[in-house]
Amino acid sequence: MRQRQPGKDAEKSGDIKRARHRALHILERSDRTEKELRAKLEQNYKPEAVEDAVAYVKKYHYLDDMRYTVNYLNSRGRVKSRRQVEQELLYKKGISKEILEEALQEAEPQDEREQIRRWMEKKQIHPETASQDELRKFYLFLMRRGFRSEDILSEIRVAAF
């Protein structure tokens, strides 16, 4: 009959328990993606404890990448272009393309032209009085934010008349 080593089992279960509590504590403050939670937990816990903690919070729906993505699209989509938000979700937040595509169907549609008009207002750009250099800088500013060229030019033309 094999003897149990109480030290290792107790240590392992204690590490798992601490990882679960840490995961709950992290998610209590703000919603996270699975990738973000894993990165936080991997700093202090062994891979087995991280896997268990992630499975635990997923089981009780504390961690839901779909919910996170829809909320992110609805909140950030008002300020940033759709393309910029998608890139952030895919590369920084670790959301899969499948989840992103499904979330785009559920999220509120964002009017990028309205966002451009808000940026014009915020930056105090008046195409009828602005110099070519100011318009060029504003155009490049919006391009860096992921807005489409035709949308930017169209809104500048509409505002100029």
pLDDT on residue 1: 43
Whether 5 is in a domain gets the answer no
pLDDT on residue 49: 95
Structural domain of 22: 10-59
106-151 tens-digit pLDDT? 988 888 899 999 999 999 989 888 899 999 999 999 999 999 999 9
| 76 and 38 share one domain | no
pLDDT on residue 13: 80
Count how many domains the chain has.
3
Question: Residue 45 maps to which CATH number?
Answer: 1.10.10
| 51 and 79 share one domain | no
Q: Distance of CA 72 to CAs 17, 85, 115, 116, 156, Å? A: 30, 8, 16, 20, 28
What is the Rg, in whole angstroms, of the alpha carbon atoms belonging to the chain? Answer: 23
**Prediction pTM value:** 0.77
| 35 and 21 share one domain | yes
| Predicted confidence pLDDT, tens digits, the chain (161 residues) | 444 455 455 456 889 999 999 999 999 999 999 999 999 999 999 999 999 999 999 999 999 999 999 999 999 888 888 899 999 999 999 999 999 999 999 988 888 899 999 999 999 989 888 899 999 999 999 999 999 999 999 999 888 77
Whether 20 is in a domain gets the answer yes
pLDDT on residue 2: 45
